[in-house]
Structure 1
Amino acid sequence: MRAEYPKIERASADRSASAGAEASDVNYPQLDPGDIATLFDRARLRMARELRGLTQVQLAKEAGSVTAASVSQFENGHSKPAASTLQRLALALRVPPSFFAAPARPPAQDEVNGFFRSLRSTAPRDRQQALAYVHLARELTLEFEKHVALPELNLPRVRIEEGQPLQAADIEQAAARVREHWNVPPGPVQNVVRLLERNGIVVVRFRVSIEKVDAFCVDFPDRPVVALGADKGLRDRSRFDAAHELGHLVLHGSGERAGTRIIESQAHEFAAAFLMPVGDIKDELPDHLDWPAFLRLKAKWHVSLAALLVRAKTLGVMSEHTYAQGWKALSVRGWRRVEPGPLGNPEAPVLLQRALDLMEKTGTSFAEFIGHSGLPEADIRTLLSRDVSERPRVEF
């Protein structure tokens, strides 16, 4: 009989104690080096290497007594490393040796595409490192699901057939459909990140010293992951990033056409329509450059002045000439880099941290979890940390 795990939206320690004990009864045998070598998972080796930003040649040098050709053979599945070699690789990659043992679940695809903003301006190694980070977030999520029940994935899809043109009205309707499906009331979205998490989408902020990688997402079949840049400390832009990645998940799916100008433009249009529905905002937008009015709208809708300017032009409220003058004004005043009217810290993901909190309340400590999962502790702590935080909420 399937164990009933405590649900994350019902984080009562009293009600969840018995279920947590049941989930913790799973037997986690400690693997010896020979077992790890036998169960070696080549995808885990590649993930760890790319997470550290190393080439196969660099890893061979770091590990010592291992050649780049051997590393390539290990990752291609043509051979398996001996237990002693695994120990050296684990030390060089700063992961526990048990990390290399294949998990008891279907693996993710070896080649999974992420929706990166610009493939030309992003170095392949940076993309690989960012993707490895997101793969680790997926692994962490699946390990948590052995102990607690996360929100089920609830994501409506609006698929676009290859070669089929997508009109602006179609994107507006897609955004409206998602809002309706998620029961979002008219007006501004209170918290975009929290909305994604409540509907089963994992959101993380990546902190892996990748300067040129902007927000991106990966549409894993079991649970999509949205990665937001930790260095983007602007609430309005971060919210737009989250809505942009949602647009990719809703409209584009697998990522086969990721990085093209058309795909990115469609995701931008979706984000604007999702955050600023035409029926709610059109009558509020000024048809001239009334900056105080735009600042008031920024404070209400929690979007940037630039996004409001584009929305006014897209909805036919503002003329092309006025729109062009608006962009010139933004440039002259330096507002394209730093806008007036800051909105505070970006929205912070909470799903994974709440999963950890609930798991610990139901009897499994973080140390036990790390030991059982074989995941690298330092990287998991980085995934769970919050370098930006929302303002504390006053509770009554």
Structure 2
Amino acid sequence: MSLDEARRTVIALDRARLQAGRELRGLSQTALAREAGITAAAVSQFENGHSRPTPATLLKLSYALDLPLGYFARRHGHAAGQAPAAFFRSLRSTSAAERRRATALVGLVHELVHAVEQHVALPAPDVPVNKAARDDASIDRVAADARAHLGLDANGPIPDVVRAMERQGIVTARFRVEGHQMDAFSVDYLDRPVVVLGADKGHRDRSRFDAAHELGHLVLHHPDDAGSKEAETQAHKFAAAFLMPAESIRDDLPRRADWERLAGLKREWGVSIAALLKRAQTLGSMDPAAYTQAMKTLSARGWRKREPVDLGPAEQPVLLARALEVAEAHGVTLDDLAAEHGLPLHDLRKVLENSLDPRPRVEL
């Protein structure tokens, strides 16, 4: 990074990028000012557009944030304005700063997708939107319609939820926000939705439910619904109906906690025993008292954290990784994309580490 490059970047500076970079690093304005050797008031003025940094100051900010100068320039081909609000599962267990950092990370994924699409054609985003459904019956119908829209069997278990979503052009990633356990979340960008699944949730059954839950947000909700308890409840109901269609599973659900039977249903449907019990209670197969007792037993045996019956590793996103492979086969590497679009390469590798496998692949 040079002063000449900084001079060119200041001319094309996007003040929103300063804030995004700061949030990416999880820093307050005061902390960034301390790292860069400037005042917090100056950082505030840069971010709100009241003043511009000098080239020398922009260099200091770039070094303090460990971001390339190109990161701070206006993005051509991107819609102006803030990104839509993210749907977070656990608002109470995550701070506002943690959510901002996670949103900045998913913003990098979105920018990488935009960069890749200049070289590789991805499946067009095609989400079966229905923003009017609110009650249980209508959500069940919307879930059934979503299965049909995604080309899935109307009645049977879904083999791979993540793959089904990616075929509809929903980019999915799996990464950890350092130092924090973050549930799945999604951002419904205007051009293409992005879903993030937590890297620490390695249980296949729970991760499948997380993916279906985020699909529910994309189908049912507007960005203005983000953060509401009602939206989370509706997405949960959608996920249950999407993974366990009522007419297909109702007769198989036990009226009392039959653990052997529930273990078999878990293997068949790829959902947790806890989700099966809740579905049994919702569909009336199990009365509230029996459900409460079953959940108490689940807790007493330590199964709320780790259930019996291991379904294997969580489903892995492949769309972005395969797009990068195709781009590389045509002479455009991840390093090239990062340099061309001013994206921090080490951060991209971090968010992609659960999708990219450096080993040669055996093709059969």
Pairwise TM-score range, normalised by the shorter structure: over 0.9
C-alpha distance 120-337 of structure 1, shift in aligned 2 (>3 A) = closer
Q: Does structure 1 residue 358 correspond to structure 2 residue 338?
A: no
Partner of 2:77: 105
Q: Does structure 1 residue 44 correspond to structure 2 residue 13?
A: no
Any idea what SS the aligned residue of 1:218 has? strand
Q: Which amino acid aligns with 2:27?
A: L
Any idea what SS the aligned residue of 1:79 has? coil
- CA distance in structure 2 between the aligned counterparts of 1:154 and 1:395, rounded to whole angstroms: 30
- CA distance in structure 2 between the aligned counterparts of 1:117 and 1:132, rounded to whole angstroms: 17
C-alpha distance 383-81 of structure 1, shift in aligned 2 (>3 A) = same
Partner of 1:28: none
Partner of 2:102: 130
- CA distance in structure 2 between the aligned counterparts of 1:370 and 1:212, rounded to whole angstroms: 27
Q: CA offset at residue 69 of structure 1?
A: 1.0
Q: Which amino acid aligns with 1:47?
A: A
- CA distance in structure 1 between the aligned counterparts of 2:345 and 2:356, rounded to whole angstroms: 21
Picking from 284, 292, 296, the partner of 2:264 is 296
Picking from 113, 135, 140, the partner of 1:172 is 140
- CA distance in structure 2 between the aligned counterparts of 1:387 and 1:251, rounded to whole angstroms: 28
- CA distance in structure 2 between the aligned counterparts of 1:51 and 1:59, rounded to whole angstroms: 12
Q: In the TM superposition, what whole-angstrom CA distance separates every residue of 1:207-240 from its partner, at most 9, and x where no partner exists?
A: 2215253211111111111111111111111110
CA contact 2:173–2:355 (8 Å) conserved in 1: no
Any idea what SS the aligned residue of 2:88 has? coil
Q: Does structure 1 residue 208 correspond to structure 2 residue 177?
A: yes
CA contact 2:321–2:356 (8 Å) conserved in 1: no
Which range is displaced more, 41-50 or 54-63?
41-50
CA contact 1:248–1:267 (8 Å) conserved in 2: yes
Q: CA offset at residue 108 of structure 1?
A: 5.3
CA contact 1:130–1:206 (8 Å) conserved in 2: no
Partner of 1:276: 244
- CA distance in structure 1 between the aligned counterparts of 2:44 and 2:105, rounded to whole angstroms: 21
Partner of 1:93: 65
Picking from 297, 300, 322, the partner of 1:332 is 300
Picking from 96, 102, 113, the partner of 1:141 is 113
CA contact 1:48–1:95 (8 Å) conserved in 2: yes
Q: Which amino acid aligns with 1:39?
A: A
- Residues 8-27 of structure 1: pairs in structure 2 closer than 5 A: none
Structure 1 residue runs of 4+, over 6 Å off? Answer: none
Partner of 1:236: 205
Q: Does structure 1 residue 82 correspond to structure 2 residue 54?
A: yes
C-alpha distance 331-120 of structure 1, shift in aligned 2 (>3 A) = closer
- CA distance in structure 2 between the aligned counterparts of 1:49 and 1:264, rounded to whole angstroms: 29
- CA distance in structure 1 between the aligned counterparts of 2:228 and 2:338, rounded to whole angstroms: 39
CA contact 1:118–1:260 (8 Å) conserved in 2: no
Partner of 1:189: 158
Aligned length: 357
After TM superposition, the score normalised by the length of structure 2 is: 0.93
Any idea what SS the aligned residue of 1:32 has? helix
Q: CA offset at residue 325 of structure 1?
A: 1.6
Taking only the aligned residue pairs, the percentage that are identical comes to 51
- CA distance in structure 2 between the aligned counterparts of 1:213 and 1:365, rounded to whole angstroms: 30
Partner of 2:337: 369
Picking from 43, 61, 64, the partner of 2:34 is 61
- CA distance in structure 1 between the aligned counterparts of 2:150 and 2:362, rounded to whole angstroms: 26
Any idea what SS the aligned residue of 2:87 has? coil
Partner of 1:9: none
CA contact 1:118–1:259 (8 Å) conserved in 2: no
Q: Which amino acid aligns with 2:76?
A: A
Q: Which amino acid aligns with 1:115?
A: F
Q: Which amino acid aligns with 1:264?
A: E
Q: Which amino acid aligns with 2:89?
A: R
Which range is displaced more, 296-305 or 105-114?
105-114
CA contact 2:176–2:182 (8 Å) conserved in 1: no
Q: CA offset at residue 258 of structure 1?
A: 2.1
Any idea what SS the aligned residue of 1:205 has? strand
Partner of 1:305: 273
C-alpha distance 350-176 of structure 1, shift in aligned 2 (>3 A) = same
Partner of 2:217: 248
- CA distance in structure 2 between the aligned counterparts of 1:142 and 1:43, rounded to whole angstroms: 18
- CA distance in structure 1 between the aligned counterparts of 2:303 and 2:333, rounded to whole angstroms: 47
Picking from 348, 351, 355, the partner of 2:316 is 348
- CA distance in structure 1 between the aligned counterparts of 2:333 and 2:309, rounded to whole angstroms: 43
CA contact 1:230–1:387 (8 Å) conserved in 2: no
Any idea what SS the aligned residue of 1:170 has? helix
- CA distance in structure 1 between the aligned counterparts of 2:147 and 2:260, rounded to whole angstroms: 29
- CA distance in structure 2 between the aligned counterparts of 1:370 and 1:166, rounded to whole angstroms: 42
- CA distance in structure 2 between the aligned counterparts of 1:259 and 1:210, rounded to whole angstroms: 22
CA contact 2:175–2:354 (8 Å) conserved in 1: no
> RMSD of the alignment, in Å?
1.9
C-alpha distance 61-234 of structure 1, shift in aligned 2 (>3 A) = same
CA contact 2:130–2:142 (8 Å) conserved in 1: yes
Any idea what SS the aligned residue of 1:53 has? coil
Picking from 227, 230, 242, the partner of 1:259 is 227
CA contact 1:287–1:317 (8 Å) conserved in 2: yes
Q: In the TM superposition, what whole-angstrom CA distance separates every residue of 1:78-123 from its partner, at most 9, and x where no partner exists?
A: 2221211111111111111111111112345326311112434321
- Gaps spanning 5+ residues in structure 1: where? 1-30
